[in-house]
Amino acid sequence: MDTQKSSKFFVGSIVIFLILFLLVKVILSTMLDMGKSAVAADSMVAEDVAERIKPVAQVYVGEAPVVEAAPVVEASSGGGAQVVTQVCALCHSTGMMSSPKLGSADDWAPRIEKGIDVLYESAINGFNMMPARGGRPSLSDDEVKAAVDHMLSQAK
């Protein structure tokens, strides 16, 4: 009788153990599946999503307006300022190699005396340690001149 009871208990606990085991397994695999679908969501390409959620019908309202992109460097004083910060400031902000320092009226006064055309000429073709076009050959004459204008306007 006792042995029967304990063996029943034994079988019972095995069954409970199996049920628990299966439960854990089901829970784990559901979690894994959720993980997988989360990864799938990550890899969804924006275009695919747009394709899937796009409206069933589309209304044609004529040509889309073309938005013109603003030129990056303008040959205006703004463009000159940009060239100065991106190219010329490398030397001229610190007065490196005794270059006339940006914003220093004293440094620029003797240069200005030479006349603006001489300064354009030096900036475009180089002058002693001053490299032609500040070492950026892709700059146009107008861009270099705008940069000189900007430098001079700051040195007053």
Q: Please report, as ranges, the residues that interact with ligand HEC according to CB under 6 A.
A: 83, 87-88, 90-92, 96-97, 99-100, 111, 114, 118-119, 122-123, 127-131, 133-135, 144, 147-148, 151
C-alpha angle 140-89-143 in degrees, rounded to nearest 5: 15
Q: Minimal distance in Å, beta carbon 69 to ligand HEC? A: 24
Q: CA 121 to CA 2: how far, in whole Å?
A: 113
Q: Minimal distance in Å, beta carbon 126 to ligand HEC? A: 9
| Look-up of token digits 């703004």 | 78
Please say whether the beta carbons of 140 and 132 come within 8 A.
no
**AA identity, residue 98:** S
CB nearer ligand HEC, residue 36 or residue 114: 114
Q: Minimal distance in Å, beta carbon 89 to ligand HEC? A: 8
